[in-house]
Amino acid sequence: MPLSVELDSADLKILIALQKDARITNKKLAAAAGVAASTCLTRMKRLRDLGVIQGFSVKLNEQRLGRPVDAFLAIRMNPHRQPLVEPFIEQTLDRPEVREIFHLTGPDDFLVRVAAEDLSSLQGLVLNHFTARNEVAMVRTNLIFQKWQGDPILPVSE
């Protein structure tokens, strides 16, 4: 699969509209792109097949769901070896607090974003899941006070 794909103005209009509202109806999406509804469906299928559209998701308010403590855990493994990476990722993703994992270059091997119920739960996660693992040499916890969402990847208007 190529790293980037050729998109025409109708494709870009579809993607821009979806970034604003992923629940938009096909009829409204087609109108926004200036194409027929059947053409819009064909283009959406092509964009999914090419991997440009990877899926649709719901953004949940973690605080309202009882997980107000948001943090990044910078994790250093020793040894940082291939046979340990996949089990570490799988077992970490099994934790309900874990929202995202990033495999990094630099001094830290992983950055894990978590949403915990409270500071005690966060401490338990660090001590009982991460530092209890033989391959985890260090965990640095950074609480997130506030966050902002970046702009969509495509321009809102052409």
CB-CB neighbours of 13 under 10 Å: 23
The CATH code of the domain at 69-143 is: 3.30.70.920
* Domain range 9-49, CATH architecture: Orthogonal Bundle (1.10)
CA torsion angle for 43, 49, 53, 54 (degrees, to 10)? 160
Residue pLDDT, tens place only, 22-52: 999 999 999 999 999 999 999 999 999 999 9
- CA dist 149 → 13, 73, 99, 122, 124 (Å): 21, 20, 16, 24, 29
Identify the burial level of 106 via C-beta atoms within 10 angstroms of its C-beta, where 0-12 means exposed, 13-18 middle and 19 or more buried.
exposed
Q: Cis before residue 96, ω within 30 degrees of 0?
A: no
Residue pLDDT, tens place only, 108-130: 999 999 999 999 999 999 999 99
What's the rounded mean pLDDT across residues 1-5? Answer: 69
pLDDT of the residue at 57: 86
Residue pLDDT, tens place only, 61-70: 999 999 999 9
Please spell the DSSP secondary structure of 10-47, one letter per residue.
Answer: HHHHHHHHHHH-TT--HHHHHHHHTS-HHHHHHHHHHH
Q: Is the pTM of this model over 0.85?
A: no
pLDDT band at 158 (very low <50, low <70, confident <90, very high): very low
In the chain, where the domains are located: 9-49, 69-143
